[in-house]
Structure 1
Amino acid sequence: MFSNATTRTESWLMGSIACTGILTNLVLLLVFCFLPNLRRPVNAFLLHQCLLDAIRSAYCIPFSIIEVEPPTICSALAGTYIVLVTCASFNLLTIVMNEVYSFSDITLGVNASQNCCCVWFALVVIWFAAIITNLGVAFMPGGRSAEQCQFVTGVTSNYVLHVVWLLLESMATLMTISFLRRMSNDVSRCNYYRLSTLVRATVSIDPTVQTYSQRRRSVMIDKRNIRETVRMMNYKLRILTTYTTLFIIMCLPLLGLYAIEPWVNASPETFQFLSMLAWSQPLLTPFAVYSLIRASGGFSADPAQFLSPFILGHRSSAEGDPPIVRIETRSSTFVTGDVSPSDSRYSFFPSISAAAAVCTGPRGRRASSFIV
């Protein structure tokens, strides 16, 4: 076992981790609450991650006391902490999924969803899944005494709990990696040339854009917007990949060591180091969340822009007139079609396809071939 001086040093270090994690995550939570630009449903999962990691950091305080004094409520601490870590991994998966489908909406010309009911439902599902999957091993363990506490360093008193917990974390992590891979493929496919062709060929809503110079200037604006969008998504992809990698490096080795502990005679220092590494993971969340928000321009953007459709190549038409879809063919002719103001934004791109479908002969085939 460790000496008393080493144990107290570890307790002070855990207390410092707790204070730093609570302070940084709470500061970011207050920023979310007081900046109108950030009070959007799409940012709810980032706010939820900060809240979870602030609570996880607070758990380092009772854990630091356990290092010095015998535990009295160890079962409650163990069960709730397991649920929090599982919930954090599920929420990370939700953040990545949200970014993947948000980028799909952008490339399809669909405005991001602002439905609060969907967000609340997702949060309820996250907590429900975390509690139900850990119910049998976390809240109803076989032993309630201090000798069977799940957080005694270097002692695996409930082997089934650690194995099930490792499986749950591994499952959530693998799903997160799969969605990160999908996000990377989407960004790679929607490169500059493909999206610029899409915007040039299919989207031109301003009926005043008629001359060659006007069309050229309009296409240049579209290309710049496309480059910025792809650059932003590449930056987000790097941030999420780095955060997920650090989550794996800092959290999963401790669970893996507990899972193989009956066959491996690991030193107490190894358990101590991996435990401190896992408890330090919530300190990274504020930096990752700040980087994601900064990449989206959330700290300085105009709140009004989040109330209007975010469509690549979207330009307002004359006030009071319905927007007109103009599809340019290879012969530099145009096929036009009205989009009624009552149409859903989800029917915007199908309206373009319908406008191209009314063409007959070679001109119609040329127009349709531009649509990605």
Structure 2
Amino acid sequence: MHLNGTTLTVESWFTACIAGVGILTNILLLLTFCCLKNLRRPMNAFLLHQCLLDGIRSAYCIPFSVVSVYRPTICSALAGTYIVLVTCASFNLLAIVMNEAYSFSDITLGVNASQNCCCVWFALVVIWFAAIITNLGVAFMPGGRSIEQCRFTMGVTNNYVLHVVWLLLEAMAILMTIAFLCQLAKDISKCNYYRLSTLVRATVSIDPSVRTNSQRRQSVMVDKRNVRDTVKMMTYKLRVLSAYTVLFVIACLPLLTLYAIEPLVNAPQLVYKFLSILAWSQPLITPFAVYSLIKGAGGFFADPNEFSGPLLLGQRPSSDGGLPQVRIETSSSQYLSAELPSGSRYDFFPSISAAASATSSRGRRASAFIV
């Protein structure tokens, strides 16, 4: 079952290097989040949590590098807690994607991003609770303290059901993550300026002194740029999250799949070792993904409200500093928002997603948006 001493030494050193790099990079990002005030926001909590989880997972590579030489005395506890961390990381990845999807919906709905820390803490508690409860029978109950009773010996499937359950949990989290990525991609595809151009012409906030067509065209161009910048930012984030999810699947699922099909195949020991090291090296990807997401949102020193505020088409203040006025044009009459008759049945959509949900793929006339 074991290889010669030289191979074990090289393997141990390689695993220790993975531990050192993973701990250093993830801890560095954690300190960056703590030191930069503009990054200490509730919507970044799941990114910080992912760095924390992967930093701890990287630290587990230190005992794993020793396990290849010395027989552990707490095999089940060591492997069981690592299983919980991996499951927690996959659930947290799902939370990151869900957070981005709902944040984008808030932006396009014209709603300010939530700053409620209680919701974030509740979500983190749910992640840990779900990871522990779902793995309770897999990670902690089976096996004893000695190596002979360990259920997680490399290359040996002592309990087939346990490995299948773990694979199903990971697959469920990944499938849900992919589903939310598809939903985010669908929302981004709906959020394009050309589909909303009719609405922009129908409801444009203007200063009462702005009367010329050139000034109106300039107002529309500002809206077009805002929509384009937001869509570009979210498209970049979508690509980063998609790539990170694919790499997570490539790194973690092959080893679990191999254990699940182990009764049907007779894989050599080297395959188990290679896939194990591949899974242990997955936390090295997280710092690059988190850095890319922060960069996509404007960088480490960007204004936190630049892309997190509501994106309202044509929302510019009036010249006297009061509330903006909106010119509503229908086929029969025109109104300013401050001049709408009492009890009027006319209303307008000030946000992108509201308009997107009201329009069809071919678009409609402006009067169809006034209800």
- TM-score normalised to structure 2 length: 0.87
In the TM superposition, 1:7-18 aligns within 5 A as: 7-18=8-19
1:101 corresponds to = 102
Q: Give 3-state SS (helix, strand or coil) of 1:152's partner.
A: coil
What is the identity, as a one-letter code, of the residue corresponding to 2:73? T
1:358 corresponds to = none
Distance 2:66 2:280 in 1: 14
1:352 corresponds to = 348
Distance 1:115 1:291 in 2: 25
1:228 aligns with 2:256: no
What is the identity, as a one-letter code, of the residue corresponding to 1:352? F
1:325 aligns with 2:321: no
Asked if the contact 1:187/1:230 (under 8 Å) is kept, the reply is yes
What is the identity, as a one-letter code, of the residue corresponding to 1:11? S
Asked if the contact 2:57/2:283 (under 8 Å) is kept, the reply is yes
Asked if the contact 1:159/1:259 (under 8 Å) is kept, the reply is yes
Q: Give 3-state SS (helix, strand or coil) of 2:326's partner.
A: strand
Distance 1:210 1:112 in 2: 34
What is the Cα-based RMSD across aligned positions, in Å?
2.6
Distance 2:370 2:3 in 1: 68
2:368 corresponds to = 369
Distance 1:312 1:47 in 2: 32
Asked if the contact 2:107/2:310 (under 8 Å) is kept, the reply is no
1:131 Cα deviation after fit: 0.7
What is the identity, as a one-letter code, of the residue corresponding to 1:293? I
Asked if the contact 1:326/1:337 (under 8 Å) is kept, the reply is no
Distance 1:55 1:249 in 2: 20
1:249 aligns with 2:242: no
2:360 corresponds to = none
Asked if the contact 2:199/2:366 (under 8 Å) is kept, the reply is no
Distance 2:370 2:299 in 1: 32
User: Would the alpha carbon gap of residues 44 and 310 (structure 1) be closer, same or farther in structure 2, given more than 3 Å must change?
Assistant: farther
1:64 corresponds to = 65
In the TM superposition, 1:154-165 aligns within 5 A as: 154-165=155-166
1:73 Cα deviation after fit: 1.6
Q: Give 3-state SS (helix, strand or coil) of 2:323's partner.
A: coil
2:276 corresponds to = 275
Distance 2:245 2:113 in 1: 24
User: Would the alpha carbon gap of residues 203 and 126 (structure 1) be closer, same or farther in structure 2, given more than 3 Å must change?
Assistant: farther
1:219 corresponds to = 220
1:268 Cα deviation after fit: 0.5
User: Would the alpha carbon gap of residues 338 and 303 (structure 1) be closer, same or farther in structure 2, given more than 3 Å must change?
Assistant: farther
1:107 Cα deviation after fit: 1.7
What is the identity, as a one-letter code, of the residue corresponding to 1:14? T
Asked if the contact 2:113/2:308 (under 8 Å) is kept, the reply is no
What is the identity, as a one-letter code, of the residue corresponding to 2:144? G
Asked if the contact 1:28/1:50 (under 8 Å) is kept, the reply is yes
Q: Greater helix share, 1 or 2?
A: 1
1:360 corresponds to = none
1:150 Cα deviation after fit: 4.0
Number of matched residues? 352
Asked if the contact 1:37/1:298 (under 8 Å) is kept, the reply is no
Distance 2:262 2:85 in 1: 23
Where does structure 1 differ by over 6 angstroms across 4 or more consecutive aligned residues? none
- TM-score normalised to structure 1 length: 0.87
Distance 2:88 2:75 in 1: 20
User: Would the alpha carbon gap of residues 85 and 276 (structure 1) be closer, same or farther in structure 2, given more than 3 Å must change?
Assistant: same
Distance 1:306 1:34 in 2: 21
- Structure 2 runs not aligned, ≥5 long: 341-345, 351-363
